[in-house]
Chains A and B, each alone.
Chain A
């Protein structure tokens, strides 16, 4: 039986629509000389969200005790300084992810409430309220993937809104402190049941170096505050420790945990 011409044309068109570019993809090299790349770098760095990293712990042997890492004490010193508020905001985003990982409804709600309160002080309420409502609704229904997606969207909205308000440095602070809080939790869990496989998750020296570079480029009056100096010094130490080897030693994991805890204490104590 012959295939009608119209059907042949249709199949051909569909085939070309679906696969017209498949051969072109082979034109990019299979080996790239990273010392002389014929391309311009994109400066924008997307920091992996805590869930992207935390979920790895659940894939490895040994059940991480997420509940023990959920933040209970939200008695935050409310500073007047916007930089510190932004730093606290970043830690709260990470706290939300930790509570989701523990499937702790109250923990998520607590983080959500604090995020909302801080967003008012930072002038971000209008942008953040819809996300907070969505987080609480998904949380009540225990739709944890939806909660994760909404927290990620909250972070993105906050960064974009800060950028629109000419507050790029504040947006950077949110990312830095969120990463520090996530790393503190992660190092705590890896330290609880050390294995080289778990420790490899912490091999993120380029990200740590990226944050150092961002902080060093900030206005002098911002970076010269005691809290920012503690963060900068701490991140330089973390960069060095994360660069040492692919699978960090138990000692390095402990050291990074202590540095992150120190950074977070200085943020929370800042006026």
Chain B
């Protein structure tokens, strides 16, 4: 997957986003769709549905989701708030991390998973300010996924 080809373009897009304190979660989803575009060319289907909301920096959210052995998945976490570091990890039903590849570009982090069993998996997301001095605040986020 040649995500790096589009990464400079995506990075420039991110830099163009005004540093607004009130992040819009739809902007986060739009960023994911930009990041996911090259994956579609590789045969991934990106789901129209996605998770979103506001998350206090430093706190974690957990999503439970059904995955199928035989499919390959990419999950992406994004925020439109600049200056955040994003973390995403996928766990199996025993709580074991199963991410086998990552992408990390400004404001978007991705995790690739190839499930060894069909069933429920857990996606843990966390957003921090890169500058430790910044106080905790709610930032808009979105998680979307693609499969093939």
Measured CB to CB, the residues of A under 8 A from B are 14, 17-22, 24-25, 27-34, 37-42, 44-49, 51-53, 55-56, 59-60, 145, 148-149, 152-153, 155-156, 159, 200-201, 203-207, 246
Chain B residue at minimal CB-CB distance from A157: B48
Task: Write out the residue numbers on chain A whose beta carbons fall within 8 Å of the beta carbon of B104.
Answer: 18-22, 24-25
Q: How far is the CA of A224 from the CA of B108 in the complex (A)?
A: 45
| A39 pairs with B61, CB closer than 8 A | yes
| A152 pairs with B66, CB closer than 8 A | no
Q: Does B30 contact A (CB under 8 A)?
A: no
Main secondary structure of the interface of B (DSSP, over half): strand
Q: How far is the CA of A33 from the CA of B89 in the complex (A)?
A: 14
Task: Write out the residue numbers on chain B whose beta carbons fall within 8 Å of the beta carbon of A159.
Answer: 49
Q: How far is the CA of A25 from the CA of B68 in the complex (A)?
A: 24
Sample (17) of A-B pairs whose CB atoms are under 8 Å apart: A17-B11, A18-B104, A24-B128, A28-B87, A28-B97, A28-B124, A32-B97, A32-B124, A34-B93, A42-B63, A45-B65, A48-B66, A48-B68, A52-B147, A56-B71, A152-B49, A200-B118
| A52 pairs with B45, CB closer than 8 A | yes
Task: Write out the residue numbers on chain A whose beta carbons fall within 8 Å of the beta carbon of B63.
Answer: 41-42
Interface bits B49-70 vs A (CB < 8 Å: 1, else 0): 1110100000111111110111
| A32 pairs with B68, CB closer than 8 A | no
The 8 Å CB contact of A25, one of B60, B94, B109, B118, is: B109
Task: Write out the residue numbers on chain B whose beta carbons fall within 8 Å of the beta carbon of A37.
Answer: 62
Chain B residue at minimal CB-CB distance from A13: B11
| B51 pairs with A39, CB closer than 8 A | no
CB distance from B41 to the nearest CB of A (A): 11
| B48 pairs with A56, CB closer than 8 A | no
Chain B residue at minimal CB-CB distance from A33: B95
Given A34-B95, A46-B47: A28 touches B89 (CB 8 Å cut-off): yes
Task: Write out the residue numbers on chain B whose beta carbons fall within 8 Å of the beta carbon of A52.
Answer: 45, 47, 68, 71, 147
| B48 pairs with A14, CB closer than 8 A | no
Beta-carbon contacts under 8 Å, B27-83 to A: 45, 47-51, 53, 59-66, 68-71
Q: How far is the CA of A40 from the CA of B141 in the complex (A)?
A: 15
| B91 pairs with A51, CB closer than 8 A | no
The 8 Å CB contact of B60, one of A38, A44, A155, is: A38
| A41 pairs with B60, CB closer than 8 A | no
| A203 pairs with B118, CB closer than 8 A | yes
The 8 Å CB contact of B48, one of A41, A155, A204, is: A155
Beta-carbon contacts under 8 Å, B86-126 to A: 86-89, 91, 93-97, 102, 104-106, 109, 117-120, 122, 124, 126
